[in-house]
Amino acid sequence: MSGSLATISPELQEFIRAQRVFFVATAPSAGGHINISPKGLDTLRILSPTRVAYLDLTGSGNETAAHVGQNGRITIMVCAFEGKARIVRLYGKGSVVMPGDSAWGEVVGAFPAMAGVRQVIVLDVERASSSCGFGVPRMSFVEERRDMCEWAERKGEAGLAEYRDKKNRVSIEAPWR
């Protein structure tokens, strides 16, 4: 299937669930830097044909949340590195769900327990597109990297809170929250 849909079809859902890596792209409203982040560790979930979410782990920056908080624009891209070539892009409006928010319990339950959870990014899909992906290289999966989870476990909750306060409060564009 190639083309554009208003929802994530069952075929696209099956494809998305089979991939081990996805990419998240956002941008500020007025110029500035486009942010693209690779994600993995089984942190993407399809909540409905028009809604997906990913478990966002503590990292060195927080541009996705800053941009989504500013304008809501977000794109998730999934590529096939194994099997038949394909690229799927999900376009829409995002929201950031933080621990303590009223929607937290509803969205976090879709994911496995994991050290270092910072927030959940939810995407209300306005458009799902699929294209050939013929230019994407074929690669073989070896294993998930445990580095991020191990780092978060060593830091502990207090250490993670301190790290996020220091590294995740200011976007490269401006303060965000």
Structure tokens at 96: 């950031």
User: Diameter of the chain by CA atoms?
Assistant: 47
Full-model pTM: 0.93
SS3 45: strand
pLDDT in tens, the chain (177 residues): 577 889 999 999 999 999 999 999 999 998 889 999 999 999 999 999 999 999 999 999 999 999 999 999 999 999 999 999 999 999 999 999 999 999 999 999 999 999 999 999 999 999 999 999 999 999 999 999 999 999 999 999 999 999 999 999 888 876 555
Give me the domains of the chain, ranges plus CATH numbers.
3-167 (2.30.110.10)
Rounded to whole angstroms, how far apart are CA atoms 91 and 42?
20
